[in-house]
Amino acid sequence: MLKLLFIADPLETFKAYKDSSLAMMQAAFTAGHHVLHAESNTLCAKHDEIFATCKEILIHVEKDPWFEVVQEGLQNLKNFDAVIMRQDPPFNVEYLANTWLLSQAKRMGVRVVNDPSSLRDHSEKISILEFPDFVAPTMVTRSLEQIREFHAIHQDIVVKPLDGMGGMGIFRVNQDGLNLGSIVETLGEYGHRSLMVQKYLPEIKDGDKRLLLIHGQPVPYVLARIPQAGDIRGNLAAGGKGVAKPLSAREHEIALKIGPILEKRGLSIVGLDIIGNYLTEINVTSPTGFVEITQQTGFNVAKFWLEQLEQSLKN
């Protein structure tokens, strides 16, 4: 029996019908493990050891509320077999501070998933540049002039901030270039913030596909998040419709190339975003899609994750 701590947003904010973190917690609870939860703002250091205010919970998804707190108090992270970092973005200074604290916990022997140093080093957007064979034409810059040049070449482009999530702040600028300057100035705060610019991929109509990697291994289905009428964003948070599909040959190729590399860095829960044949983001903070894939295909993603975690803790 394992003692697992999930660092995540407040339990009351979970959307119980589709939350991937809850699916992971439920899988662990069903398997007989001790499941505890802590909010990230309770992490603290006492000399060289790291603590958090932890709630041990019972999970009853058929009830409202779905959790029952049976014990609460400050605990040393050394008391856990694994600490699963599932704090949602944005990646801001406080998120960064939490990774520093978790890095100290790791130095004291705590198993942290995903690895905190890799969370710091791995920009969910810029990280795709490491794999240029899989990436559509892309630029990261603060310069409006450079973005205008990129638009002149590719005609139809997408502009987005580096710290956005759930489709936030994504703009398409087509051939006429209408409002390009205004969009870049607003998102980029007049050259004070870097932006990512990519060639628009019309394959988005078939979905922005989420491919989950668990300990370097691909889940055999992607979740195609299909934009609805009047929107270019497939993100479920932006109203996209999620449809599970078997991996294509190209998606399998991308997974086999990237999965082992990220696994060696301690990134054992990863969500690749793929449009058409192109990799567009590598999500590592709190990838989602577990529940939708499980419900539509019968492949229990959370159970698969738990089995991989259990095996890794034996090694």
> Which pLDDT value is given to residue 234?
56
pLDDT confidence of residue 148: 97
Q: What is the CATH number of domain 3-117?
A: 3.40.50.20
List the CATH code of the domain at 203-308: 3.30.470.20
pLDDT by residue, tens only, the chain of 315 residues = 999 999 999 999 999 999 999 999 999 999 999 999 999 999 999 999 999 999 999 999 888 899 999 999 999 999 999 999 999 988 899 999 999 999 999 999 999 999 999 999 999 999 999 999 999 999 999 999 999 999 999 999 999 999 877 778 899 999 999 999 999 999 999 999 999 999 999 999 999 999 999 999 999 999 999 987 666 655 566 567 899 999 999 999 999 999 999 999 999 999 999 999 999 999 999 999 999 999 999 999 999 999 999 999 987
Which of 121, 122, 158 lies closest to 139, judged by CA? 158
The pLDDT value recorded for residue 236 is: 62
Asked if 38 and 101 count as a contact pair (C-beta separation under 8 A), the reply is no
Residue ranges covered by each domain of the chain:
3-117, 137-200, 203-308
Helices within the chain (DSSP H only): 20-30, 93-107, 116-121, 144-154, 180-187, 249-264, 290-297, 301-314
188 close to 142: Cβ distance less than 8 angstroms:
yes
- Strands of the chain (E only): list them: 3-7, 34-38, 44-46, 49-59, 67-76, 82-85, 112-113, 138-141, 157-161, 171-173, 195-199, 208-214, 217-226, 241-246, 269-275, 278-283
> Could you say which of 3.20.170.30, 3.10.350.10, 3.30.1490.20, 1.10.472.10 is the CATH number of the domain covering 137-200?
3.30.1490.20
The answer to whether 112 and 85 have CB atoms below 8 angstroms apart is yes
Nearest to 309 by CA among 67, 39, 80: 80
- Going from the C-alpha of 265 to that of each of 97, 116, 184, 268, 291, the distances in angstroms are 20, 10, 34, 8, 26
Catalytically active residues, by annotation: 125, 160, 210, 225, 233, 273, 281, 283
Residue type (1 letter), 103: S
Q: Write down the pLDDT at residue 58.
A: 98
Contacts of 254 (CB under 8 A, 6+ apart): 131, 134, 211, 272, 274, 279
CA-CA distance, 176 to 174, in Å (whole number)? 6
Residue 64, judged by CB atoms within 10 A of its CB (0-12, 13-18, 19+), counts as: exposed
